[in-house]
Amino acid sequence: MSSLQPVRGTHDLLPETMRRHRVVIDTARRVAARYCYQEMATPIFEFSEVFKRTLGDTSDIVTKEMYSFTDRGGEELTLRPEATAGVARALISGGLSQYLPLKVFCHGPMFRYERPQKGRLRQFHQIDVELLGVGQPLGDVEVIALGAQILRELGIYDRVVLELNTLGDMESRRAYRAALVEYFSAHRDRLSEDSRNRLERNPLRILDSKDEGDRRLIAEAPLFTDYLNQASRDFFAAVTAGLDALDIAYKLNPRLVRGLDYYCHTAFEFTTEALGAQGTVMAGGRYDGLVEMMGGPPTPGIGWAAGIERLAMLLTEEPAVSRPIAVIPVGAADEIPALQLTERLRRAGFTVDLGYSGNVGKRMKRANRLNASAVVIVGEDERSRGVAAVRDLDSGEQDEVPLDALEDRLAQYR
């Protein structure tokens, strides 16, 4: 039989890795709840139109990276490459507009056909925050503050930098778009093929190009900030004032953009130098035109997504593993009583291990491998006297405890 391997760009979340993932997810869930964000989940696959309509036909995700397929019913479906579109779709299909503002936290796997590298997989996992129905700058500040607090409680805030920019309102974007078309058209012959294709349809996407020749042209391109109207400048000033008031440091990055038309105003990324080339750990922005583009009512929105794999790699402390209590039967006749006692302790809230075979010596070795805090020894003599032997594996001390007082005696190991 040939050796089976996971599909390229995927990996197993083995217990050690999963513990780090759980730290990220549980921390994010706990902090989001303090900010009154409610947890929800959307399906892992959607109708392909959900992503084609929102991500744009010219985006790399749609043209190169989506996992799309036709199901047996002839429907065109796509494994979700990101979370925002699904949340916006749920707002529309679930009739949630009546509950605005909607504050949502979610997490789960996403899928993109990319070249696998450190921190970038074809099946990857994200935490995601969306705030729908709030058009004021205060919403931008809250969403960024929530992300910053999650990073603080993960212990990695001092290893990231918040990069911030404004994309302005639609009037500003139209003016900037015209300036970009004029600039890049004058250098059309030096653009990559992808960027030439984007020039007419979505010139802001050229600014995301990784092509070296494009990057040299981008360095000299007009800046968005030069085309902002006063309303856009006032909005951004309110956002930065809010961040200043909360002592959230940021670095202005005029090259930080989002190419899709429904993005506006605030764009931001938390980046790090600790992961090499894949430096973005959390990224988001305001998308006031998204829900309307999908056929829903005009609904402002802002949110962010963060890669769980990348955040987990930045954790400096290994997550603690709970230490179990080990129950050890002395002989074959003690196995059923030991099983009953184990279940009784588990139902009382204790973490308990019961080995499946072996003599007392082998079971003690197993308890040590599991880093058990204590063992409860059940033998015929102890049972006849209504007691169990309890040994603390750190101190080595052992005493006998009445069975009806066992939960109280073990409370220190809970």
Q: What is the DSSP string of 140-173?
A: HHHHHHHHHHHHHHTT-GGG-EEEEEE---HHHH
Query: Containing domain of residue 305, as a range?
Result: 15-169+229-314
Helix%, strand%, coil% for the chain, nearest 5: 45, 20, 35
In-domain check, residue 1: no
CA Rg value for the chain = 28
Domain count, the chain: 2
- Tell me the C-alpha distance between 22 and 185, whole Å: 49
262 and 357, same domain (yes or no): no
271 and 352, same domain (yes or no): no
- In this structure, are residues 80 and 44 in contact, taking their beta carbons and an 8 Å threshold? yes
- Closest among 104, 135, 130 to 37, alpha carbons compared: 104
Tokens of 41: 């989940």
78: three-class secondary structure by DSSP: strand
308 and 334, same domain (yes or no): no
159 and 299, same domain (yes or no): yes
Q: 257-277: buried (b, 16+ CB within 10 Å) or exposed (e) per residue? A: bbbbbbbbbbbbbbbbeebee
73 and 149, same domain (yes or no): yes
381 and 233, same domain (yes or no): no
In-domain check, residue 212: no
Secondary structure element (H or E) that encloses residue 63, with its range: none
262 and 342, same domain (yes or no): no
- Tell me the C-alpha distance between 218 and 210, whole Å: 10
246 and 108, same domain (yes or no): yes
- In this structure, are residues 9 and 121 in contact, taking their beta carbons and an 8 Å threshold? yes
Instruction: Single out the residue in 288, 314, 340 at which a domain terminates.
Output: 314
95 and 24, same domain (yes or no): yes
- Tell me the C-alpha distance between 185 and 191, whole Å: 9
Per-residue pLDDT of the chain in tens (414 residues, 90 and over written 9):
457 898 888 889 999 999 999 999 999 999 999 999 999 999 999 999 898 877 765 555 655 688 899 999 999 999 999 999 999 999 999 999 888 999 999 999 999 987 766 657 889 999 999 999 999 999 999 999 999 999 999 999 999 999 999 999 989 988 988 998 999 999 888 889 888 888 877 788 888 788 888 888 888 899 888 899 999 999 999 999 999 999 999 999 988 887 676 789 999 999 998 887 668 999 999 999 899 989 999 999 999 999 999 999 999 888 888 899 999 999 999 999 999 999 999 999 999 999 888 899 999 999 999 999 999 999 999 999 999 999 999 999 999 999 999 999 999 998
In-domain check, residue 320: no
- Closest among 215, 163, 194, 231 to 58, alpha carbons compared: 194
In-domain check, residue 319: no
- In this structure, are residues 304 and 267 in contact, taking their beta carbons and an 8 Å threshold? no
Determine how β-strand 38-39 pairs with β-strand 102-111: parallel
In-domain check, residue 288: yes
- Residue at token pair 């405890």: 401
CB atoms under 10 Å from CB of 369, counted, come to 8
- Tell me the C-alpha distance between 131 and 143, whole Å: 7
Secondary structure element (H or E) that encloses residue 10, with its range: none
Determine how β-strand 161-166 pairs with β-strand 251-252: parallel
Instruction: Single out the residue in 314, 345, 376 at which a domain terminates.
Output: 314
Instruction: Single out the residue in 278, 295, 314 at which a domain terminates.
Output: 314
- In this structure, are residues 389 and 382 in contact, taking their beta carbons and an 8 Å threshold? yes
Sign of CA dihedral 173, 178, 179, 183: positive
Question: How far apart, in Å, are the Cα atoms of 394 and each of 181, 365, 414?
Answer: 71, 14, 15
Question: How far apart, in Å, are the Cα atoms of 14 and each of 18, 21, 26, 38, 91?
Answer: 6, 10, 17, 28, 35
- In this structure, are residues 137 and 238 in contact, taking their beta carbons and an 8 Å threshold? yes
70 DSSP β-pair partners: 76
The beta strand positions in 3-66, using DSSP E, are: 38-39, 45-47
